[in-house]
Amino acid sequence: DALKPVQFVVGNRTIDVAAGSRVLTSLGAASHDPSVFAEPHRLNLRRSNANKHLGFAAGIHYCLGSSLAKMEAQVTIDSLLRRFSRIELSGEPQWRDRLTIRGVDRLVLAVAR
């Protein structure tokens, strides 16, 4: 096993990667850079530099579905805010147990009109 290529590395460390090697990058960590975002672990919808996130990649790799995803989020959030005067968590979010794309599988909310 010690001679197999590195499959995944967790933590802060430096490793040598041979030219031509495949490397797995984790998008989940990309938008959590404390040199870019103050308190990167906290959800702050009013960040002045929120457009610096890498959720839809960049350049030639920019997500083709990003406009649709942003519109869906805007419509959903606007509809919820118009319909309910109070929205709060009702229990802990249930997170996906996956290596590559982190997200919530279940988020129960308590709402009041």
Pick from 48, 64, 44: nearest CA to 56: 64
Which has more confidence, 13 or 17?
17
> What angle (nearest 5°) sits at the alpha carbon of residue 64, between those of residues 58 and 65?
115
Please provide the DSSP assignment of 26-42 as one string. -HHHHT--TTTSSSTTS
Span 61-77, average pLDDT: 91
pLDDT (tens digit per residue) in 36-50:
888 888 878 788 998
Strand 104-106 versus strand 94-95 pairing type: antiparallel
**Residue 34 to residues 16, 39, 41, 58, 88, Cα–Cα distance (Å):** 24, 7, 9, 20, 28
Name the E strands within 3-100.
Answer: 86-89, 94-95
Task: For the chain, give the mean pLDDT.
Answer: 82
Span 6-15, average pLDDT: 63
Domain residue spans of the chain: 27-82
Span 66-88, average pLDDT: 94
Which has more confidence, 59 or 68?
68
In the beta sheet, which residues pair with residue 112? Answer: 86
Which has more confidence, 52 or 100?
52
- CA dihedral for 57, 77, 104, 72, sign (positive or negative): negative
Q: DSSP code of 102?
A: -
pLDDT (tens digit per residue) in 82-107:
999 999 999 999 988 776 667 789 99
pLDDT at site 50: 85
pLDDT at site 87: 94
